[in-house]
Amino acid sequence: MNDTILVTGATGTVGSQVVKKLAEIGANVRAAVRSTSKAEKLSGVEVVEFDLNKPETVQSAFTGIDKLFLATPLVANMVELDATSLEAAKKAGVKHIVRLSVMGADGEPANPLCKLHREVEKMIESSGLAYTILRPNSFYQNYITFTGGTIKSQNAFYLPLGDAKLSLVDTRDIAAVAAAALTEEGHEGKTYLVTGSEALDNKQIADIFSSVLGRTIQYVDVPEDAAREGMKEAGMPEPEMNLVLGLYADQKAGKYSNVSPVVEQITGKKPISFDQFAKDYAEAFK
Ligand SMILES: NC(=O)c1ccc[n+]([C@@H]2O[C@H](COP(=O)([O-])OP(=O)(O)OC[C@H]3O[C@@H](n4cnc5c(N)ncnc54)[C@H](OP(=O)(O)O)[C@@H]3O)[C@@H](O)[C@H]2O)c1
């Protein structure tokens, strides 16, 4: 396992877990970070500067790498950013790309976020490079990133998702699938739907939080307008807000409840349950 694997988005929710998993199994990891000041949590691996808005950092980050884990921030110009990474990957002679896409990217008609991811997938599929596409459902860890604040301050979380069931997934499981695809044979040309082992609605999720945290946590189903207002207040730019709201609308309509066997098939372990996630990250909600 002497291949050097570049992980983009290495300070992000999924990328940081991919770095950790690859380091654990002894792979040669290069973590690509925008700001080296954020890199201290990535101890024990090579760190390089990588900012897609600074072209001079891109090619140097890619020089000498063999494989690529490509995670792109949720931004409206995602296709443009990934075109830059793909060009750099071709120049560097990358042997295999594993890209973080999204569940539903193959849907017709798809929501705008899925359409963007599908555009990137097509670019990768026609690049001539070996690839594996991961299409995860929404992450358990979103309950920390997006709703952790109100769970802590109000014992409640607000989402425009009605009583839709969702086969959410732990980013640690996505990372385990990514690490296998990057270091084992047989994943080239494959597209994997990555979900947890059951579909839960947000009332069930609130009940799990209540039981694990030992206090009542309430799920408040809000209309789309209220969700939009909340995101605006949190500083999310309008184009990205529209991407998230489009996804939420499809989730509310019940299109994100399919359960996939991929995590267990590839890692040999059952997906992490929401209950286990809540226990492992309980401190984040206190
Ligand atoms: N959240 C979900 O439930 C979900 C589900 C399925 C798919 N996805 C997809 O997952 C992707 C996001 O992954 P994530 O949630 O792991 O990421 P994240 O936690 O949002 O972090 C984004 C990462 O990208 C880096 N980044 C931002 N701008 C950059 C730039 N200009 N150049 C280089 N790096 C840059 C960030 O660096 P800094 O730390 O310096 O900001 C960070 O490492 C999106 O494409 C999204 O559509 C998300």
pLDDT tens track for 229-270? 999 999 999 999 999 999 999 999 999 999 999 999 999 999
CA of residue 272 to ligand 1 center, whole Å:
22
Scan for tokens 């019940």, then name that residue: 254
The mean-pLDDT minimum among 25-29, 47-51, 105-109 falls in 105-109
pLDDT at 203 over 80: yes
Distance from residue 22's CA to the centre of ligand 1 (Å)? 18
With 0-12 CB in 10 A as exposed, 13-18 as middle and 19+ as buried, what is 40?
exposed
Residues 115-121 have a mean pLDDT of 97
Q: Rounded to the nearest whole angstrom, what is the distance from the C-alpha of residue 72 to the centroid of ligand 1?
A: 5
In this predicted structure, the answer to whether residue 1 has a pLDDT above a threshold of 70 is: no
CA 8 to ligand 1: nearest atom? 34
Cα 57 to ligand 1 centroid, rounded to whole Å? 18
Ligand 1 atom having least distance to the Cα of 139: 3
Lining ligand 1 with CB less than 6 A are 9-15, 34-35, 38, 50-53, 71-74, 100, 102, 136, 138-139, 142
Q: How close is the Cα of 268 to the center of ligand 1, in Å?
A: 27
Least Cα distance to 131 among 87, 65, 169, 86 occurs for: 86
- Euclidean distance between CA atoms 252 and 240, whole angstroms: 18
- Write the CB contacts of 179 (distance below 8 Å, at least 6 apart in sequence): 18, 21, 22, 25, 27
Please report which confidence band the pLDDT of residue 37 belongs to, taking 50, 70 and 90 as the band edges: confident
CATH class of residue range 4-138+169-196+257-268:
alpha beta
Using only the alpha carbons of the chain, give its radius of gyration: 19
The mean pLDDT value for 75-95 works out to: 97
The span from the CA of 118 to the CA of 122, in Å, is 6
Provide CB contacts within 8 A for 99, sequence distance 6+.
69, 70, 71, 82, 120, 121, 124, 131, 132, 133, 134
Query: How sure is the predictor about 55, in pLDDT bands with cuts at 50, 70 and 90?
Result: confident
For ligand 1, atom 40: residue with the closest CA: 34
